């Protein structure tokens, strides 16, 4: 009887170990695919682009898989889980580069930049209050519908923001750039959602401006998302010989190859990364830590140093706004 009981116990343990191994393997499939794309510097196909936005989340299933492999003594699977955790952990580590310690030249001007997605215009009132309080030099507004455009015109006096470049549109398609400094229009990026451009004169320097708002990488539209980020990359490459700012809702973050391509093409720096806040989420609003993702950015050329970055919570929008304090240096 005892021998039979021991045999039954061993069989039960074996089945449990086999089942645990299969479950661990299943838990590792998605994190492995996403981690492989991150290493290969590609955004892949759906659902990889969507999951790359939340790369830290994948530590949870990979960690659960490792625990299962340890409990069931599956050494090969444990090695697999450790490798996946190591890759994801490497890429989600904090990017605390600190503020610029050695400016590229003497400071010629200080400039504050605010970017805000007001979600179909719903947060326009809160944005107006924020602009009145913070008084940024440049304001980039996305998803500014017709009512939003009218409110910005009526509630923010021309005396405060005499220079504006706006593209009217319904729903999420409208955008605007407001400036305290002389601003002239420039060709923007051709896209489904308005991405106007401009050139602003600050302390005798001409700064190229480009608002960013490519389509989101929803299933069925990843090709368009990648194409519009590619157009932003081409813009950045063509404007890299002088001061430049590209700001807005990129619908992409540092774990997307298409976004990193923009940085590299234009020799641009992400202000939040420079300030040590690369993982601070901006969408969805109200999320904390790894539960959100940073898709709203202010990218700046080598002519700027970043002094401060603040994330602002506005009611009635699913995005946090980003306020960046910059110094413009004479690098000529």
Q: Cβ–Cβ contacts within 10 Å for residue 276, how many?
A: 16
111 in helix, strand or coil? strand
Please write the tens of the pLDDT for every residue from 151-172. Answer: 999 999 999 999 999 998 999 9
Q: Are 113 and 61 in contact (CB under 8 A)?
A: no
Q: What is the pLDDT of residue 94?
A: 73
Residue 104 has pLDDT above 60, yes or no: yes
Same domain, 145 and 234: yes
* Structural domain contains residue 178: yes
Same domain, 187 and 82: no
Work out how many domains the chain is built from and give that number.
2
Percent of the chain at pLDDT above 70? Answer: 90
Please write the tens of the pLDDT for every residue from 120-153. Answer: 999 999 999 999 999 999 999 999 999 999 999 9
Same domain, 45 and 118: no
Q: Is the peptide bond preceding residue 284 cis, with omega within 30 degrees of 0?
A: yes
* Structural domain contains residue 102: no
Of 92, 115, 133, the domain-final residue: 92
Same domain, 288 and 314: yes
Q: What is the pLDDT of residue 93?
A: 84
At 16, is the pLDDT very low, low, confident or very high (cuts 50, 70, 90)? very low
Same domain, 88 and 114: no
Residue 6 has pLDDT above 80, yes or no: no
* Residue 181 structural domain: 107-329
Alpha-carbon distance values, 83 to 37, 62, 249 (Å): 14, 10, 33
Of 33, 68, 92, the domain-final residue: 92
Same domain, 224 and 298: yes
The CATH number of the domain where 293 resides is what?
A: 3.60.10.10
* Structural domain contains residue 216: yes
Q: What is the mean pLDDT of residues 51-60?
A: 95
Beta-bridged to residue 22, according to DSSP, are none
Containing 68, the helix (H) or strand (E) segment is: helix 59-72
Same domain, 205 and 311: yes
Residue with tokens 């398609």: 173
* Structural domain contains residue 291: yes
Residue 211 has pLDDT above 90, yes or no: yes
Same domain, 192 and 225: yes
Same domain, 55 and 79: yes
* Structural domain contains residue 150: yes
Q: Which residue has the higher pLDDT, 100 or 34?
A: 34
| CA 306/CA 270 separation, integer angstroms | 9
Nearest to 269 by CA among 246, 248, 294, 235: 246
Q: What is the pLDDT of residue 20?
A: 72
Same domain, 126 and 249: yes
Q: What is the pLDDT of residue 1?
A: 44
Please write the tens of the pLDDT for every residue from 272-330. Answer: 999 999 889 999 997 766 678 999 999 999 999 999 999 999 999 999 999 999 999 98
Residue 101 has pLDDT above 60, yes or no: no
Output the furthest CA–CA distance in the chain (Å, rounded).
Answer: 95
Q: Is the peptide bond preceding residue 47 cis, with omega within 30 degrees of 0?
A: yes
Nearest to 288 by CA among 311, 254, 257, 308: 311
Same domain, 111 and 172: yes
Q: What is the pLDDT of residue 331?
A: 80
């Amino acid at each position: 009887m005892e021998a039979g009981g021991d045999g039954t116990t061993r069989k039960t343990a074996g089945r449990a170990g086999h089942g645990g191994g299969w479950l661990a393997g299943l838990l590792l499939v998605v994190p492995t695919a996403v981690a492989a794309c991150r290493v290969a510097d590609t955004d892949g196909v759906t659902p990889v682009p969507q999951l790359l936005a939340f790369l830290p989340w994948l530590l949870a299933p990979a960690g659960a898989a490792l625990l299962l492999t340890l409990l069931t003594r599956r050494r090969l699977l444990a090695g697999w889980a450790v490798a996946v955790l190591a890759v994801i952990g490497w890429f989600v580590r904090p990017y605390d580069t600190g503020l610029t310690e050695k400016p590229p030249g003497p400071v010629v001007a200080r400039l504050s930049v605010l970017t805000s997605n007001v979600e179909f215009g719903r947060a326009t009132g809160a944005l107006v209050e924020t602009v009145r309080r913070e008084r940024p030099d440049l304001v980039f507004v996305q998803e500014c519908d017709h009512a939003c455009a009218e409110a910005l015109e009526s509630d923010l006096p021309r005396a405060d923001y005499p220079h504006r470049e706006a593209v009217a549109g319904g729903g999420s398609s409208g955008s605007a750039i407001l400036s305290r400094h002389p601003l002239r229009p420039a060709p923007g990026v051709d896209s489904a959602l308005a991405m106007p451009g401009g050139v602003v004169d600050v302390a005798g320097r001409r700064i190229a401006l480009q608002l960013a708002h490519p389509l989101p990488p929803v299933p069925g539209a990843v090709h368009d998302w990648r194409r519009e980020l590619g157009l932003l990359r081409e813009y950045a490459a063509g404007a890299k010989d002088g001061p430049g700012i590209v700001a807005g809702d990129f619908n992409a973050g540092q774990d997307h190859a298409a976004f990193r391509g923009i940085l590299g093409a234009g020799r641009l720096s992400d202000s939040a990364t420079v300030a040590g806040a690369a993982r601070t989420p901006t969408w969805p609003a109200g999320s904390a830590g790894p539960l959100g993702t940073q898709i709203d950015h202010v990218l700046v050329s080598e002519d700027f140093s970043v002094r401060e970055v603040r994330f602002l919570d506005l009611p009635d929008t699913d995005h946090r706004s980003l306020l960046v304090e910059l110094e413009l240096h004479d690098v000529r």
